[in-house]
Amino acid sequence: MILKDRVALITGGGRGIGKEITLVLAKAGADIAICDINKEALDETQKEIESLGRKCLIFEADVTKRDQVDEMISKILDNLKKVDILINNAGITRDGLLVRMSEVDWDAVININLKGVFNCTKAVAKPMMKQRWGRIVNIASIIGITGNAGQANYAASKGGIIAFTKSVAKELASRNINVNAIAPGFIQTAMTKKLPDNYREEMLKMIPLNRFGEPLDVANVALFLVSEPSSYITGHVIQVDGGMVM
Ligand code: NAP
């Protein structure tokens, strides 16, 4: 149990990649707090975590709302006494070419994907600094490295996460808090299942390992980044993309 006695908070942990990370960390021994806006998904995931014998707090909280995030962290500290690990995973897409992109779609993506990461990281930074141990993993995307036509908002948010990761890694390193990012490629979740078949086929041709990624591919790397074997890695971006971008 490499995460025994650790407490992990996963945002957007009700389904998709976040849910898989939640399960993998719980199986490794961590107690869990999950924040999501999808109540049904939260309830379902909580049952699965508790059946593994771990504690699981759920919060129907929106990462863009500073007051909801702060209240969640103080409840985690009250109930589980600490927060050792933060996985900033909640994210959305609102795709469209720049000339047609509405301000609403720009703001929604930047607020959830980037401001949400700021809100949650800021809220855990002090308790982690106090205990002089912490692991923060931000889920970016290869689109934040390469850019993508039709995803200016998403690319800006994910590129922002990468720059944020490196800055905060430098700020918090002296307190034994490691901050890293994962940049997934094409992972099979609800977010990608809604893409048209012909787009998916074109994507597959660009993946040297010749398969789409699974949430577990990302979750295994998250487990590595929050456990002791990675303790000398900070400010790094690990691509989990089947070789799509190299
Ligand atoms: P997903 O299946 O859509 O799951 C995202 C979860 O986050 C959902 O449960 C969603 O709730 C929740 N969420 C949305 N807005 C939120 C908010 N404001 N506050 C709290 N929770 C919120 O997505 P996914 O594919 O697992 O993606 C997870 C992360 O990986 C995202 O950051 C995404 O950008 C990144 N990523 C994914 C891929 C991929 O190929 N799938 C590739 C690169 C990066 P609802 O169910 O209500 O929407």
What pLDDT does 225 receive? 98
Q: DSSP code of 136? A: E
Residue of the CA atom closest to atom 3 of ligand 1: 191
* Confidence check: pLDDT of 193 > 90: no
Confidence bin at 74 (pLDDT 50/70/90): very high
What pLDDT does 233 receive? 98
Catalytically annotated residues: 154
* Confidence check: pLDDT of 62 > 90: yes
Pocket of ligand 1, candidates 36, 95, 244: which has the most ligand atoms within 8 Å of its Cβ, to mutate? Answer: 36
Confidence bin at 161 (pLDDT 50/70/90): very high
Burial label for 78, CB within 10 Å (0-12, 13-18, 19+), is: exposed
pTM score: 0.98
What pLDDT does 191 receive? 86
Domain positions in the chain: 7-240
What pLDDT does 103 receive? 98
- CATH number belonging to the domain at 7-240, selected among 3.90.226.10, 3.40.50.12780, 3.30.1370.60, 3.40.50.720: 3.40.50.720
Give yes or no for a contact between 184 and 241, defined as CB atoms under 8 angstroms apart: yes
Calculate what percentage of the chain has a pLDDT beyond 70.
100
Residues with CB under 6 A from ligand 1: 11-12, 14-18, 35-38, 41, 62-64, 89-92, 112, 116, 139, 141, 184, 186-187, 189-192
